[in-house]
Structure 1
Amino acid sequence: MPGAPRPTEQKRPPSSSALAKSTVTYASNVAKHEFVWEVQGLSWLEQQLTQEGRECTNSNIFQVDPTDGYSTYMLVFSPRGGSLEHEADDDYQVFDSIPRGTLALIRRADDYGTNLCYRFFVRDASLEFQPLGEATRVAVPAREGYEPACFVGGPDLHSDSKGLFGLSFDELLGSEWVKDDSICFKVCIEEAVMKEHPSGGQIRVGKTDVVYEHKPPSVEVPPPTLQADFLSLLTEGRHSDVTIEAAYGEAAPVAFSAHTIILSQRSDVFAAAFSHEMRESSTRTLTVTDVPPPALKALLHFLYTDDFDEVQKVLREEGSSEASSSSSGAAASGGASSGAAEQSIAQLQAVLAAAHKYGVLRLLRWAEGQLCDKLSCEMACSLLSLAHVYGATELERNCLAFMKANMANVVKRADFAALAPEALVKFNMHCAGVDPAEEEPGRKRKRDDE
């Protein structure tokens, strides 16, 4: 209907969501400001005001809310609690009735309403501000239909007894509130400005926020199976077109049914072998003689899954089967734990060699990192030789650092004396504080160029 306030719009919940919480706040547009005003030559104020033909003095105009041009104020001080009329600005001297008091806050006249909280303070002899009365919170309604008036607030406006802290002006001049013939006031203001004209209908100052609880979709998405599907191609031999045979040592060969397209994509060495060595082969079998079956199996599992957990799973299973077959002898000799550790290192060495042979860099670096964690006086020399052969730079650095830190125990071992001359040179360089990797011919040329 014409003139009736429009209902506030309700935010509709998004689909698949439910209302969880609704909050209304009345402090969303509050501006805060502190203003300090000092009156000097206080003992001359009364006489000077008489010359000016008025009963009060006023401060400069100050603003509280920088976004609202009407949110401007001034302070006035009348020494004898007289009229608070002044000549500073027309917008600050329109009153419903002439206010009378000692200290007051005047807000510019406007058609909009506002909500205020203000409190006065006076500075004492120790230069600390002390409160003058309690904080006052007031709602100033909007004016409509006739000329609006200024808002005026002060501690003694509505009291018959005028004066700061109940003191007359003569008593005030001799009190702790006046220092060097000066008095200093402070007012703290909080303002929630009304920014809607009353002609626009009902004014609503509360701000509503709504939180919706998202409902998870009812459709359950199955977990990924790509890795398991690829691995099953290898373990079950489905659609295989090549056999990888591990003929290592005197043990019976172990065959794996694989797929040339997967191995060629994952390893350039396998791709070259399938292109050249097997071109004329009628059996479609690639025989590998220099990689133990467990290491070859771990390599294939990694090529199909790109998962180091699968590599560790293969090594554990193969290691446990080998351990069970020789458990009686190990138990009789009392070396079961040390044998398991040596077996784990041997497996990792074989995996590193296989990864190097077939150019699988990620697996090579993983095996290198695993071996760095298994350094001991018994294994340092053999691992240094291994790192030198396969270009495992980080393993080489770790071996050299370990051997230097445990030199007294390492140099006594027969495998230290059996180290290749190149490995001994690197050890001596490391002990002398030179990084052997930085002195390799290719690296040195690059460094010189830089």
Structure 2
Amino acid sequence: MPNSKTMSTWTSGREQGTNVFHICGYSQHRSTAAGEKKKTILSSTFSVGGHNWAVLFHPDGWSSGDEIVAGLVLTTRRVKVRASYELQLVDRSTGLSVSVHKETPRCFHFDAKDHRSFISFFMKKRSLFESPAYLRDDCLTMECTVTVIKEPRRTETKSLAKIQVPRSDLSGHYAKLWEDKVGVDVTLSAGGEEFAAHKVVLAARSPVFRAQLYGPMRETGTEPISIEDVQPAVFRELLHFIYTDSLPPLDHLKADDRTDLIRHLLVAADRYGMERLSLMCQSILCENLCAETVATTFALADQHQCDVLKDACLEFITCSTAMDAVKNTQGYKNLKRTCPPDVVEAFEKTSRFRKA
């Protein structure tokens, strides 16, 4: 089932910048005479988030003489900006910064009515700013970090890239290896016909071959290895399955010949402990049950403990009215001659149950 995946993003953008502000000759900016106008110190403008800012500093405060006023001012006109900031004092001996004020996000804007920008300010004790750690050689250094919060933005929905992975071609590589006889190291003989193969592949696919080729009872120096009671055509298909994990097309065979080959292949699969091949053969035989084949297939299933296939044969008889035709087949005659009486009785009992 095709599965498409798309993506969109909701982002709340932020941009941050830091300005270092040195106030040299700090004492000269203090008001000394009574009634003298208090001085305002403003840093040069700096840009963060596409807007201009400046640090505001009143060394004499606005009212009380023991407080200092500092803050941030937006100098860009005709805009509204949401931002936060942090002011830090720099220790002149270590170069480390200590935060003295953090301002949560708020709106900065230019007031067109009185042509003044919005100012965010705070007041702190003078003793903090004039501490020997920060005020040294009549110089004070501050750092102001401004974080501009931009308008949220949503991207358009787009499809994620998909990389198509081809089907596994491992079986094709192994088949080519076998076909070209590259690196073959063992010869097997079935019915007088010899087949070249790779020991490690045979051992990986069949526990019987593993024991025969690498087990303690292996026959060393004996080649070709004789494969008893397996026809060459059947053994060829067995090797094909070992290398490709599949059966070749059998369309060139007549129906009876194809069924006969599958039966022999089932026997070989059972002998060499290849369960998947056995199930594939059982599936084919099950799909092709008919009055002519059901008795022979039943006998084969009973002999090789293929219980599911055996039950399928009994079910076929149960659902069929062709028992008389089945009894006239050679397969049924062979069944009565080769199978134990209780097996034949089970087969015929099923037929009698159907008639009842």
**Residue 374 (1) aligns with residue 318 (2):** no
Which of 414, 424, 448 aligns to 2:344? It is 424
**Residue 210 (1) aligns with residue 156 (2):** yes
Tell me by how many angstroms 1:409 deviates. Answer: 2.3
Amino acid at match of 1:425: E
SS of aligned partner of 2:188: strand
1:2-31 CA distance string (max 9 Å, x none): 1733499xxxxxxxxxxxxxxxxxxxxxxx
Tell me by how many angstroms 1:263 deviates. Answer: 0.9
Q: Which residue of 2 is the match for residue 411 of structure 1?
A: 327
Contact 1:241 1:284 in 2 (8 A): no
CA 229–398 in structure 1, closer or farther in 2 if over 3 Å, else same: same
1:280-317 CA distance string (max 9 Å, x none): 443432111311222211211222222x2xx133x44x
Q: How far apart are the structure 1 equivalents of 2:159 and 2:331?
A: 68
Which of 80, 85, 93 aligns to 1:5? It is 80
TM-score, scaled to structure 2: 0.51
SS of aligned partner of 2:289: coil
Contact 1:243 1:256 in 2 (8 A): yes
Q: Which residue of 2 is the match for residue 312 of structure 1?
A: 248
**Residue 237 (1) aligns with residue 312 (2):** no
Gaps of 5+ in 2: 1-51, 53-73, 84-147
Q: Equivalent residues in 2 for 1:221-232 (5 A)?
A: 224-232=168-176
Pairs aligned (count) = 209
Contact 1:278 1:286 in 2 (8 A): no
CA 408–276 in structure 1, closer or farther in 2 if over 3 Å, else same: same
Structure number with higher strand proportion: 2
Tell me by how many angstroms 1:258 deviates. Answer: 0.8
Contact 1:242 1:258 in 2 (8 A): yes
Identity, % of aligned positions: 26
Q: Equivalent residues in 2 for 1:6-25 (5 A)?
A: 6=81
**Residue 295 (1) aligns with residue 234 (2):** yes
SS of aligned partner of 2:290: coil
Q: How far apart are the structure 2 equivalents of 1:342 and 1:239?
A: 37
Amino acid at match of 1:364: S
Contact 2:188 2:225 in 1 (8 A): yes
1:107-129 CA distance string (max 9 Å, x none): xxxxxxxxxxxxxxxxxxxxxxx
TM-score, scaled to structure 1: 0.41
Tell me by how many angstroms 1:417 deviates. Answer: 4.0
Q: Which residue of 1 is the match for residue 197 of structure 2?
A: 258
Contact 2:317 2:323 in 1 (8 A): yes
Amino acid at match of 2:185: D
Contact 1:5 1:202 in 2 (8 A): no
Tell me by how many angstroms 1:379 deviates. Answer: 1.1
Q: How far apart are the structure 2 equivalents of 1:375 and 1:258?
A: 35
1:367-401 CA distance string (max 9 Å, x none): 00100011111111111111111111121112122
Gaps of 5+ in 1: 9-200, 248-252, 324-339, 434-450
Contact 2:291 2:323 in 1 (8 A): no
1:135-193 CA distance string (max 9 Å, x none): xxxxxxxxxxxxxxxxxxxxxxxxxxxxxxxxxxxxxxxxxxxxxxxxxxxxxxxxxxx
CA 378–280 in structure 1, closer or farther in 2 if over 3 Å, else same: closer
Contact 2:317 2:350 in 1 (8 A): no
CA 223–378 in structure 1, closer or farther in 2 if over 3 Å, else same: closer
Q: How far apart are the structure 1 equivalents of 2:231 and 2:187?
A: 16
1:347-384 CA distance string (max 9 Å, x none): 11011011011010010011001000111111111111
Structure number with higher helix proportion: 1
CA 411–238 in structure 1, closer or farther in 2 if over 3 Å, else same: same
Contact 2:240 2:248 in 1 (8 A): no
Amino acid at match of 1:409: A
Q: How far apart are the structure 2 equivalents of 1:423 and 1:365?
A: 22
1:404-428 CA distance string (max 9 Å, x none): 3222322344542442224312214
1:223-251 CA distance string (max 9 Å, x none): 7542222122211111111112111xxxx
Which of 390, 393, 401 aligns to 2:307? It is 393
Contact 2:184 2:196 in 1 (8 A): yes
Which of 211, 223, 240 aligns to 1:284? It is 223
Contact 1:269 1:358 in 2 (8 A): yes
Amino acid at match of 1:356: D
Tell me by how many angstroms 1:213 deviates. Answer: 4.7
Considering only aligned residues, what root-mean-square deviation do their CA atoms show, in Å? 3.4
Q: Equivalent residues in 2 for 1:20-419 (5 A)?
A: 208-214=154-160, 224-247=168-191, 253-275=192-214, 279-306=218-245, 308=246, 311-313=247-249, 315-316=250-251, 320=252, 340-404=254-318, 405=320, 406-413=322-329, 415-418=331-334, 419=336
CA 352–207 in structure 1, closer or farther in 2 if over 3 Å, else same: same
Q: How far apart are the structure 2 equivalents of 1:399 and 1:271?
A: 34
Amino acid at match of 1:341: A
SS of aligned partner of 2:157: strand
